[in-house]
A and B are shown apart, each in its own frame.
Chain A
Amino acid sequence: MKTTPGRLAALGLAILLVVGVGVGIISSAGQALAPSTVALTGYIGSEKDAFFKDPRVVAALQRGGFAVSVTTAGSRQIAATDLSKADFAFPAGVPAAEKIRVDHPGSKAFVPFYTPMAIATWKPIVDLLTAAGVVHTTGDVTTLDVAAYMDLVAKNTRWKDLPGNSAYPVNKSILVTSTDVRKSNSAAMYLSLASYVANGANIVQNDAEVAKLMDRLAPLFLRQGFVASSSEEPFDDYLVQGIGKSPMVMIYESQFIQRAAAADGSITPDMVLMYPDPTIFSKHTFVGLTPNGIKLGDFLTNDPEMRSLATQYGFRTTDTPAFTKFVADHKLAVPASLINVIDPPTYETLEAMITRLEADYNGQGTPVATPSPSPS
Chain B
Amino acid sequence: MSRRALSALGAALVGVLLAGLLAGCGASVTPGPGDSNTLTVMAGSEVKDLEPLLADIRAATGVTVQMAYSGTIEGAEAIANGATTDAAWFSTGNYLSLLPGAGSRVVAQQKIMLSPVVIGVKKSAADRFGWTGNPNVTWKDIQAKSADGSFRFAMTNPAASNSGLVALVGVASALSGSSDSIDTGTIDTAALKEFFKGQTLTAGSSGFLADSYVRDQDTVDGIVNYESILMSLNGSGKLHEPLELIYPKEGIVTADYPFMLLNASKRDAFDKVTAYLRTPDVQKRIMTDTLRRPAIPGVPLDPRFSTQTLIELPFPARLETIDALITAYLDVARKPASAIFVLDLSGSMAGERLDQLKAAMAALTGTDPSITGKFARFRAREQVTIITFSTDVIETREFTIDDTAPDGPDMTAIRDYVNGLRTYNSTAIYSALDAAYQQIVKEQAADPNRLSSIVLMTDGDNNDGISPDQFASDYAALPDQARAIHTYTVLFGDGSKDAMSSIAALTGGALFDATSTSLETIFKQIRGYQ
Contact = CB atoms under 8 A, between A and B. Distances in A.
Interface of A: 46, 158, 170-173, 222-227, 229, 233, 236, 239-246, 264-266, 361-363, 366-371, 373-376
Contact of A373 (B94, B317, B331): B331
A343 to B, nearest CB: 29
A224 B314 contact: yes
Contact of A369 (B185, B318, B336): B185
B85 to A, nearest CB: 20
Nearest to A232: B110
A264 B311 CA distance: 25
Contact of A241 (B254, B315, B316): B254
Interface of B: 94, 97-98, 108, 111, 114, 174, 178-185, 187, 189, 250-251, 254, 294-298, 309-318, 320, 323-324, 327-328, 331-332, 336, 380-381, 402, 404
B317 A225 contact: yes
Nearest to B381: A376
Nearest to B311: A244
A243 B328 CA distance: 32
Nearest to B312: A245
14 contacts: A171-B179, A171-B250, A172-B314, A223-B180, A224-B317, A225-B180, A226-B94, A236-B111, A242-B309, A244-B311, A362-B318, A366-B185, A369-B184, A371-B332
Interface of A is mostly: loop
A191 to B, nearest CB: 16
B68 to A, nearest CB: 25
A244 B309 contact: yes
B318 A373 contact: no
B316 to A, nearest CB: 6
Contacts of B314: 172, 224-226
A240 B295 contact: yes
Q: Closest 10 CB pairs between A and B?
A: A225-B181, A225-B314, A266-B297, A245-B312, A373-B380, A373-B331, A226-B315, A239-B297, A171-B179, A244-B310
B204 to A, nearest CB: 22
Contacts of A363: 318, 320
B181 A223 contact: yes
Contact of A240 (B187, B297, B328, B331): B297
Contacts of B323: 370
Given A171-B178, A223-B180, A240-B296, A361 B318 contact: yes
A241 B310 contact: yes
A294 to B, nearest CB: 28
A367 B381 contact: no
Given A226-B317, A370-B323, 18 more contacts: A172-B180, A222-B181, A224-B314, A226-B181, A226-B314, A226-B315, A229-B97, A240-B297, A244-B311, A244-B312, A367-B185, A369-B184, A369-B185, A370-B327, A371-B184, A371-B187, A373-B332, A373-B381
B406 to A, nearest CB: 15
A172 B174 CA distance: 9
Contacts of B331: 371, 373
A369 B98 CA distance: 18
A361 B317 contact: yes
A243 B294 CA distance: 16
A203 B16 CA distance: 57
Contacts of A225: 180-182, 314-317
B217 to A, nearest CB: 30
Contacts of A374: 189, 332
